[in-house]
Amino acid sequence: MSPQWIAVIGASFLAYALKYIGSSIPESWLAHPRIQRINNLIPISLLSALVAIQTVTDKTKFVIDQRAAGVAVAAIALLLKAPFWLVVVSAAATSALVYKFI
């Protein structure tokens, strides 16, 4: 068996074990207010990290390109409390225009 398959099987086992352990946590622990607050912030932080990494990296290099302009426009639109569709469309249009003209 190749090392890649061992890694895949090991990662699969680990994912299953984590899912099983997570489902067997008592309900009283999950109802704690601190756990509830942490649980609400985890998706936000993971999505923010994903956007940051996808915006400023290209494979193994750090780059600033049209994606940074799109994210900046999206951040401004969010600060101005624009509807979500407008945030997405303005970010995409900005990225496209910067890519086309620069």
Residues 47, 92, single domain; the answer is yes
Residues 3, 15, single domain; the answer is yes
| Domain extent for 41 | 32-101
The pLDDT assigned to 1 comes to 84
Q: What is the pLDDT along the chain (102 residues), one digit of tens a residue?
A: 899 999 999 999 999 999 999 889 888 888 899 999 998 999 999 999 999 999 999 888 999 999 999 999 999 999 999 999 999 999 999 999 999 998
Enumerate the H helices of 24-83 as residue ranges: 27-30, 33-56, 66-79
Residues 24, 59, single domain; the answer is no
Residues 43, 23, single domain; the answer is no
The pLDDT assigned to 27 comes to 87
The pLDDT assigned to 59 comes to 86
